[in-house]
Each structure stands twice: as C-alpha cells, then as structure tokens.
C-alpha cells in the first residue's frame, strides 16, 4: 500500500509540474521549439538567423474565418540570443474567407534600423508600416540571398489546417507585459 501511495505522489508531482511554469516560460519554450523547427525544415535557417539583428517568433498563430475572420498569437522577440520582450499579433478581416489554420510566424529584422524602429514604436502593423517581404520558403530553398535589399522578412511555417486568403497583412503587433 505504501508503494502505491508513494507512486501516486511522484506521478502527481510529475504531472502537475507544468502547472507551476509561468506564462513566460511556456511561451519561451514554445518559441524555442518553433525556431528549432524553422532551422530543421528550412535549409540555411540557422545561419540566416545568426546573421539577422533580431527576430520575433510567434509559435502558434491561430486564424479562422467565415466571412468575418480573425487572427491571434503571442510571440517572443529574440536579440543576440536573449529574450527582449513579448508581443501579441492580432488582426480582423471581412470578406470572402473560410477556414481555420494554425501556423508559426517568424519575423526577421535584417537591418539594425528596422529593429530599432520596431522597438521605438512599440510594434507595428504588418503590411502598413514599411516594406515587409513575406516568405513561404520550402525546405530546399537557400536563404543565402534572402537578405539582399530587405530590412524585414516574414516567414510562415509549420502550418496545419486550411484557410482561404491567408496573409499577415494588417496584423497589429504590440508589446505585452507578462509578469
């Protein structure tokens, strides 16, 4: 009987360990996993991220719609391999659309000017604030030329589900406080 009680106590601690993780820790772990998937699936991804000034990772962006649509995700800004802040991505739309989709989005700040501008304005609206290049890279495409002439590049990857008319244009990205 004692063995069963001890086993139950150990299992209870193991399964409840996730309940003690903070929202920051969970989001950072999800972002790290998304970056690993990016590096594993995109040829040259790790070298590319090593060259950029910083990147914003939204590991789980949910989008859905039936005439009216919306999108939401939380992300982590990484600069010099350190977390520099937490952000929301939110959008709404009206039009001919249908479906549900989950995907990861990585926004790479190629130039220091672009990163500084993003930090100074506390976020931006994708597709409105400057020239963002949306990249849907296959695993065999080489990223060595991706940085040519671009300040910011947006990657969508790890997609599941189907959504007609998917884009990040008009998505508002703002800093959030996770304490």
Q: pLDDT tens for residues 48-75?
A: 899 999 999 999 999 888 878 888 999 9
pLDDT at residue 17 in the model: 47
For Cα atoms 170, 172, 177, give the angle at the middle one, nearest 5 degrees. 170
How many whole angstroms separate alpha carbon 131 and alpha carbon 90? 19
| Mean pLDDT on 143-148 | 60
pLDDT at residue 91 in the model: 85
How many whole angstroms separate alpha carbon 88 and alpha carbon 173? 5
Percent of the chain with pLDDT over 90: 34
Backbone angles phi and psi of 13, in degrees to 5: -65, -40
pLDDT at residue 63 in the model: 86
* pLDDT score of 43 more than 50: yes
3-class DSSP assignment, residue 65: strand
| Mean pLDDT on 115-123 | 82
CB-side exposure of 95: number of CA atoms within 13 Å?
Answer: 7
How many whole angstroms separate alpha carbon 178 and alpha carbon 71? 20
Q: What is the pTM of this model?
A: 0.77
* pLDDT score of 9 more than 70: no
pLDDT at residue 129 in the model: 47
CB contact set of 56 (below 8 Å; sequence gap of 6+):
75, 76, 77, 78, 87, 106, 107, 109, 118, 173
* Residue where the block lists tokens 């800004």: 77
| Mean pLDDT on 112-133 | 71
Work out the pLDDT band at 135, boundaries 50, 70, 90: low
* pLDDT score of 30 more than 90: yes
pLDDT at residue 73 in the model: 95
Residues listed for the chain: 179
Beta-bridged to residue 64, according to DSSP, are: 70, 100
pLDDT at residue 169 in the model: 54
Q: What is the mean pLDDT of the chain?
A: 77
Burial class (CB in 10 A: 0-12, 13-18, 19+), 140: exposed
């Amino acid at each position: 009987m004692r063995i069963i009680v001890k086993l139950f106590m150990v299992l209870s601690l193991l399964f409840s360990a996730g309940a003690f993780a903070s929202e920051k820790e969970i989001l950072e772990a999800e972002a790290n996993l998304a970056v690993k998937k990016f590096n594993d699936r995109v040829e040259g991804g790790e070298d590319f991220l090593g060259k950029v000034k910083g990147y914003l990772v939204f590991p789980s962006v949910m989008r859905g719609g039936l005439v009216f649509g919306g999108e939401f995700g939380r992300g982590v800004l990484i600069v010099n391999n350190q977390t520099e802040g937490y952000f929301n991505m939110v959008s709404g739309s009206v039009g001919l659309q249908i479906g549900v989709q989950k995907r990861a989005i990585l926004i790479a700040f190629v130039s220091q000017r672009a990163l500084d501008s993003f930090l100074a304005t506390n976020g931006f609206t994708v597709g409105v604030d400057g020239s963002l290049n949306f990249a849907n890279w296959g695993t065999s495409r080489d990223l060595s030329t991706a940085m040519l002439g671009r300040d910011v590049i947006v990657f969508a990857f790890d997609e599941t589900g189907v959504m007609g008319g998917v884009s990040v244009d008009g998505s508002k990205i703002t800093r959030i406080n996770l304490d």
